[in-house]
Chains A and B, each alone.
Chain A
Amino acid sequence: MDALKNFIDTISSPQLFITATIIGFFVVMHYVRFFTKTPVFLTFLGLFTTFFLVSLTDDHFRKIVTLPDNVPIVGMLFLIIFFTWFSLRKGVDNDIRTEKGEPTFEKSEANEKLFVWPNLVYTEFLCMILATIVLLIWALALQAPLEEPANPTISPNPSKAPWYFLGLQEMLVYFDPWIAGVVLPVLIIVGLMAIPYLDKNKKGNGYYTFKERKFAIVSFLFGFLVLWIFLIVIGTFLRGPNWNFFGPYEVWDVHKVVPSVNINLSEIIFIKWFQTAMPRFWFTREIFGIILVFVYFGLIPIVLAKTLFKKFFMEMGAIRYGFLMMLLLTTVALPIKMYLRWLFNIKYIVAIPEYFFNI
């Protein structure tokens, strides 16, 4: 058992875990018809629940998971899994119907009419009662995690953001606070608001589908599930004191020491490769990083427009395409930066502390 726990602790190191998640995500998306089959899903859910329940026998795991703060996150995990499956399943069902030449489920249902009372109101009322019961029992069973009056000289360790910001806090590990704390959150909001303007495609309006909106669904779910929900889960359960990474069964030792000496790209280039001193002027020093960023945001969209995304580019027009690419590339920048950190210990690609500008 201990060997198994150690194994799980090891494979839940961020590098392996996130890589596995990204690969898993694309595998599921690719074989979505197989994975949304009810028996397959139920098997998966069963395995996950078993893992969870068996893990509860571990003292540390139980302590973290049953913290009054963390209980809702556990609930969220199961709800997210269920609803993702539910919506994908509906989309897949409709895809199969369309392939057979049948109307979608929503369309076939559209002719039936029902009275609001009692069909809607009665059930809503019942749900209300049941939800109230659940909330009251919850409130009785778990004490609100209220703590002592705040003391500015003692910060709790680990200091965690509210759960919905844990994704952002995870980003702070890899990005400059300016980027992770201001630019990226703004871009997330702006990006979400921009979706209706970027995406003119009318397919999928009023009915579930996967096939017809494959790119949109996959790219959204990647951002939502992998880069947001998953990071919240990591931040809640796997980040311990000093924001160190801990396996699910590993005890949160305040004194755990993790070696982490990160260096900037410019330092790698000048000191390691060129074996020279660092240039004094920031522009010469950071020139390679700046070029790299320009290539990433400037050249890649153009190349893609000529090759892979040719169709998109033609349909959307230059401005829409430009915006879409910027948002997509920014989204992808997060995992890219993570891998750069893990593989090369890169701190910043462009580091200009003179102007508080670091990427």
Chain B
Amino acid sequence: MADKKNEFLYNTAKLSVIFGIASVILFLVVLCVIVDDYSREWKKYQRSFNKMQVEQTKGELEELTKKTRQKKMARIEKKLKEEEESLKEQKTVLKEKEKQLKQLDKEILLLDTDLKSQQAELEAIKYQFEEQRAHSDEHLVQVEVSQESKLALLKEELNRWKILVGENKSIKGELIFQRTTLENEINSILENKSELVESLALMRSEEKRVKDKIKNLKPSLFNAFRNSPMFDFIAPTLRIRQLVMEDLYDDLSFVQVPKIDRCTTCHLGIDLKGFEDAPQPFTTHPNLDLYVSSSSPHAMETFGCTSCHSGNGQAIDFYHAGHAANSNEQAHEWEEKYDWHPLKHWAEPMLPLKYVESSCLQCHDQQLVIPEAVELNEGRQLFEEMGCVGCHEVKGLPEEEIRKAGPSLKRIRGKVDPGWTAKWLKDPKSFRPDTKMPSFFGLSNAASEEVEDTQVHAIVTYLFDQSEEFVPEEITGEGDAEQGQKLVKEIGCLGCHSVGEDKVSDFAPNLSQIGSKVNVPWLVDWLKNPKHYNPETSMPSLRLTDQEALDVAAFLVTLKNEPFEELAEPELNQDALEEMVREDLREGLTDKQVNEKLASMSQDEKVVYLGEKLTNFYGCYACHDISGFEDATRIGVELTHESSKPMEQFDFGFVDVPHTHQSFYQTKIKQPRIFDQGKEKTRKEKLRMPQFNLTEDQRNSLVTYLSGLKVNHVPMNRLKLLDEQERLVEDGKRLIRDMNCAGCHEVDTGVGGDIGKYVDDSVMAPPSIVGQGARVQGDWFHEFLKAPSEIRPWLKTRMPTFGFTDEEIDVIIKHFRAEDGVEETFSETKAQPTEESLAAGALLFDQLRCIQCHAVTEGMVGSSGEVSASELAPNLLLSRDRLRHEWIVDWLKNPDALMPGTGMPGYFPDLQSPLPDILEGDAMKQIIALRDYVVQLPEENDKKKKK
């Protein structure tokens, strides 16, 4: 036995116990694996959405099973019974007819069976015949007689079959006609009944559909089985939902893969109405008309979700999808709720909702104003207007069309004095709190005040050194400030400038402190002819007389900024100057050469030298025209693809903010120099972006635009490409914006024309120019823009002379015409009046008392000249050459539709004429007659004059 004991190294019984325990553990672990594999975050969401859907559907069902509906159904059932009762009388007739119908059906069936085999026979014979003939044709010369007779035989047979089939077909047609007639007869008897049955079935099926839906959604044994582990591969109700976009791509660096978005796995209610108030992730998309729904222009099936929202579309849990919080509070909330933290490994995390409009830029970048993308449009406009584009290149922006943000400094000597300029440059906001000019000095990474003051002094000295002389035109006289104030308020200055409390737009500088800046002679010259001082200026001429210019100037110089005037001028510090000049000279020179050069420079030379270097360093030329810097390159980083730049390439320094593009932009714009915090840098290494004067909303808009500057993967066919008309509209939009037409005119429904708030009556405000393209003739429009002429003599506001080039005018005219869908033609369509219509027109003109408001002779307003504001109307002599003759017809039809709030009454509401006696009371004919009469008024006037 001892041997046997030796045979076993271990106690087998013990091993078996261990084996048993290990097996149980293994089994449990395998169960854990299955559970772990089975339980997914998204299933939880799908289950709770199911519950919500059941609730919603139950609501629907309740609606369907309401008593009123039940009553309605009962009523229909009762009617049906009555109908059946009444049909009993016709029972025999009906039975007879149905019997006939059956008989017919039988006959048709029999005939059809025969016909089918006959037709097959015919086809076969046809083939034989054709084959035989082709074969004999080949050897036509030696055709054997037997063959020819065979051909003849076949032909005969073919004909026989043709006739047979033809006969049977016509019999069949006859039978079918009989059957249809019979059927119609039966139907007409049963019409009421079948209608009732149908409506009843419809109501019942609706109920059934809802009930089925509930049954499907409700937890049941069958559904539990479908979703149970191991069986859930067949047809589970809980499943990952995905949208595959074949022609949109995710760029995975080495390979582009079709976009796959699984967002709808959890965002289950996104395209369903009725979940607007449901909690996330089930909420309905807030704008189903524009996005997501299959009838919208951006359907979910073709655009997916991440095309606009970014993020990892393939992920199916909260963290990996790359959700991005809108605010810090939301981030904290998510951290607690979902264990959220920023997604590390995905190049394009989701866009925080407030910046989501940036994605529009991917496809719509050709449109200056993208509909509904308010933030983005504003951001892009700011980027251009604030001068960002002067330092930062963005490829694709029309560079030559973007105006520099600041005024030209090429003649600065003639406009302001160095003392003012230095104080201004040191702190622009102390002079004009709402200025566009950003602050370069006194920021967080500033060196000592002496150094900065020296820099300011040097830059100003340089600017005056490079400036040309400018002598204002001499206009003598005394200005009346009170008269000037009245003019400023009336003639339209406020369309662009703010003065004190009066503010319409911040397009042009606020004039509330202008008296501390400029002197009267320059101001008078500038007001009279802005292009004299600066040929490039966008300031138009309001055609002021000498006296008017003197008055306005006299008023403006009374507007002063006293605290600013009392500020001390920045002073030059000799040590700082020497140090900085030395620093600049050192680039490219040895120390010895630097010393020699320094010794040879006069004090003025040093200051100007430093000033030029600093002008270059700070990039002043990005916004201002400065002599000598015409070809200078941009000093800032190119931003074309800034938001595709890897996060690692942004230097956040020691600033503790989230490492996302958006937070970098926000921080940078808010405090441009903050990333220097805690760093050791030399003067030239320091950040130099200036501090802009932006509100939080403006910052958000700008960040939205910057977030859209990405590498574009959108295929050509998905881009919004402009057609000819849209292109013309777009071209004009920029010019209209740059000239600030919206300051005085309504340029788009509800946009612009705010200056109107300074007049009592809307008739006294500059007219709306919505629909201008349809209204006026091209030639007239061209002349008008070139040299505005008076149309509404009662207006105090003046249409300025902008000094447009012919090309610019062309762009504007084409813009308006394209916007109104007016065909571009070489000549306008003119009315062709007949004698009859002229006579009728004259009658109408008289009876409708047009002359009460409109003048028809030169230089007159209305009939008497003394009229109330509501009766002011343009002189009709202008109409022939000014207005498009087709438009006059539209105008007369319904003036209020074309220009809401107009003083012109509509005489033909719903094309009903108030005067039934003329032209048989036909409104359309009357309108045309009236138009014909109006456009011939100048001729009539000429004739009268000759007499």
Interface, chain A (partner B; CB < 8 A):
112, 114-115, 118-119, 122-123, 125-126, 129-130, 132-133, 136-137, 139-140, 147-154, 157
**Nearest Cβ distance between residue B250 and chain A, in whole angstroms?**
9
User: From residue 1 to 51 of chain B, which have CB atoms closer than 8 A to chain A?
Assistant: 6-10, 12, 15, 18-19, 22-23, 25-26, 29-30, 32-33, 36
**Nearest Cβ distance between residue B414 and chain A, in whole angstroms?**
52
A114 to B3, CA, bound (A): 11
A120 to B10, CA, bound (A): 10
* A-B contact list, 14 entries, CB within 8 Å: A112-B6, A115-B7, A119-B7, A126-B18, A126-B22, A132-B26, A133-B25, A136-B30, A136-B32, A139-B33, A140-B29, A140-B33, A140-B36, A151-B646
Which 3 pairs, one residue from A and one from B, show the smallest C-beta to C-beta distance?
A: A148-B345, A149-B252, A151-B253
**Nearest Cβ distance between residue A230 and chain B, in whole angstroms?**
31
List the B side residues contacting A115 at CB < 8 Å.
7
Q: Would you call A149 and B25 a contact (CB within 8 A)? A: no
Q: Would you call A129 and B26 a contact (CB within 8 A)? A: yes
Given contacts A118-B12, A140-B32, A150-B254, contact A133 B345 (CB under 8 A): no
Q: Would you call A119 and B8 a contact (CB within 8 A)? A: yes
* A126 touches which of B19, B30, B253, B648 (Cβ 8 Å): B19
Q: Would you call A136 and B29 a contact (CB within 8 A)? A: yes
B347 within 8 A of A: yes
A126 to B23, CA, bound (A): 9
List the A side residues contacting B646 at CB < 8 Å.
151, 153-154
A interface footprint on B732-774 (CB within 8 Å = 1, 0 otherwise): 0000000000000000000000000000000000000000000
Q: Would you call A154 and B26 a contact (CB within 8 A)? A: no
A151 to B6, CA, bound (A): 63
A351 to B488, CA, bound (A): 81
List the A side residues contacting B7 at CB < 8 Å.
114-115, 119
B231 within 8 A of A: no
Residue of A nearest to B36 (CB): A140
List the B side residues contacting A132 at CB < 8 Å.
26
Q: Would you call A133 and B26 a contact (CB within 8 A)? A: yes
A308 to B26, CA, bound (A): 58
Residue of A nearest to B32 (CB): A140
**Nearest Cβ distance between residue B258 and chain A, in whole angstroms?**
14
**Nearest Cβ distance between residue B34 and chain A, in whole angstroms?**
11
Q: Would you call B648 and A154 a contact (CB within 8 A)? A: yes
List the B side residues contacting A122 at CB < 8 Å.
10, 12, 15, 19
**Nearest Cβ distance between residue B323 and chain A, in whole angstroms?**
16
B127 within 8 A of A: no
Q: Would you call A119 and B345 a contact (CB within 8 A)? A: no
**Nearest Cβ distance between residue A59 and chain B, in whole angstroms?**
16
Residue of A nearest to B7 (CB): A115
* A119 touches which of B9, B19, B22, B648 (Cβ 8 Å): B9
B794 within 8 A of A: no
Q: Would you call A149 and B253 a contact (CB within 8 A)? A: yes
Q: Would you call B10 and A123 a contact (CB within 8 A)? A: yes
A125 to B23, CA, bound (A): 11
> Chain B interface residue count: which class?
20 to 34
* B33 touches which of A119, A136, A147, A150 (Cβ 8 Å): A136
List the B side residues contacting A147 at CB < 8 Å.
345
B346 within 8 A of A: yes
**10 further interface pairs, Cβ-Cβ under 8 Å (given A148-B344, A153-B253):** A119-B7, A119-B10, A122-B15, A126-B18, A132-B26, A133-B29, A147-B345, A149-B254, A153-B646, A154-B646
Q: Would you call A152 and B254 a contact (CB within 8 A)? A: yes
Residue of B nearest to A139 (CB): B33
List the A side residues contacting B6 at CB < 8 Å.
112, 114
User: From residue 230 to 280 of chain B, which have CB atoms closer than 8 A to chain A?
Assistant: 252-254
List the B side residues contacting A118 at CB < 8 Å.
8, 10, 12, 15
Q: Would you call A133 and B22 a contact (CB within 8 A)? A: yes
Residue of B33, B253, B346 contacting most chain A CB atoms (<10 Å): B253
Residue of A nearest to B648 (CB): A154
A154 to B808, CA, bound (A): 47
A317 to B15, CA, bound (A): 54
List the A side residues contacting B29 at CB < 8 Å.
133, 136-137, 140
Q: Would you call A123 and B15 a contact (CB within 8 A)? A: yes
* A129 touches which of B9, B22, B36, B253 (Cβ 8 Å): B22
* B253 touches which of A139, A140, A152 (Cβ 8 Å): A152
A interface footprint on B341-360 (CB within 8 Å = 1, 0 otherwise): 00011110000000000000
A118 to B26, CA, bound (A): 21
Residue of A115, A125, A154 contacting most chain B CB atoms (<10 Å): A154
Residue of B nearest to A151 (CB): B253
List the A side residues contacting B345 at CB < 8 Å.
147-148
Residue of A nearest to B312 (CB): A148
**Nearest Cβ distance between residue B894 and chain A, in whole angstroms?**
60
A330 to B461, CA, bound (A): 70
Q: Would you call A130 and B22 a contact (CB within 8 A)? A: yes
**Nearest Cβ distance between residue A63 and chain B, in whole angstroms?**
14
A157 to B647, CA, bound (A): 13
Residue of A nearest to B29 (CB): A136
A328 to B787, CA, bound (A): 98
List the A side residues contacting B8 at CB < 8 Å.
114, 118-119
Q: Would you call A151 and B347 a contact (CB within 8 A)? A: yes
**Nearest Cβ distance between residue B399 and chain A, in whole angstroms?**
28
* B9 touches which of A114, A126, A154 (Cβ 8 Å): A114
List the B side residues contacting A149 at CB < 8 Å.
252-254
A209 to B25, CA, bound (A): 40
A118 to B13, CA, bound (A): 11
A28 to B25, CA, bound (A): 41
Q: Would you call A150 and B36 a contact (CB within 8 A)? A: no
List the B side residues contacting A139 at CB < 8 Å.
33
List the B side residues contacting A148 at CB < 8 Å.
344-347
Given contacts A126-B19, A129-B22, A137-B29, contact A150 B10 (CB under 8 A): no
List the A side residues contacting B23 at CB < 8 Å.
129
List the A side residues contacting B32 at CB < 8 Å.
136, 140
A10 to B679, CA, bound (A): 27
A150 to B347, CA, bound (A): 10
List the A side residues contacting B344 at CB < 8 Å.
148
Residue of A nearest to B22 (CB): A129
Residue of A nearest to B8 (CB): A119
**Nearest Cβ distance between residue A252 and chain B, in whole angstroms?**
15
List the B side residues contacting A151 at CB < 8 Å.
253, 347, 646
List the B side residues contacting A112 at CB < 8 Å.
6
A171 to B10, CA, bound (A): 48
A150 to B253, CA, bound (A): 7
Residue of A125, A130, A133 contacting most chain B CB atoms (<10 Å): A133
**Nearest Cβ distance between residue B24 and chain A, in whole angstroms?**
10
**Nearest Cβ distance between residue B654 and chain A, in whole angstroms?**
9
List the B side residues contacting A114 at CB < 8 Å.
6-9
List the B side residues contacting A133 at CB < 8 Å.
22, 25-26, 29
List the A side residues contacting B347 at CB < 8 Å.
148, 151
Residue of A nearest to B654 (CB): A255
List the A side residues contacting B15 at CB < 8 Å.
118, 122-123, 126
**Nearest Cβ distance between residue B630 and chain A, in whole angstroms?**
36
Residue of B nearest to A154 (CB): B646
A115 to B7, CA, bound (A): 7
A interface footprint on B563-580 (CB within 8 Å = 1, 0 otherwise): 000000000000000000
A242 to B307, CA, bound (A): 35
**Nearest Cβ distance between residue A2 and chain B, in whole angstroms?**
22
A119 to B11, CA, bound (A): 9
**Nearest Cβ distance between residue B710 and chain A, in whole angstroms?**
14
A157 to B254, CA, bound (A): 20
A133 to B22, CA, bound (A): 8
List the A side residues contacting B10 at CB < 8 Å.
118-119, 122-123
List the B side residues contacting A152 at CB < 8 Å.
253-254
**Nearest Cβ distance between residue B257 and chain A, in whole angstroms?**
9
List the A side residues contacting B33 at CB < 8 Å.
136, 139-140
A126 to B12, CA, bound (A): 12
**Nearest Cβ distance between residue A310 and chain B, in whole angstroms?**
48
List the B side residues contacting A123 at CB < 8 Å.
10, 15
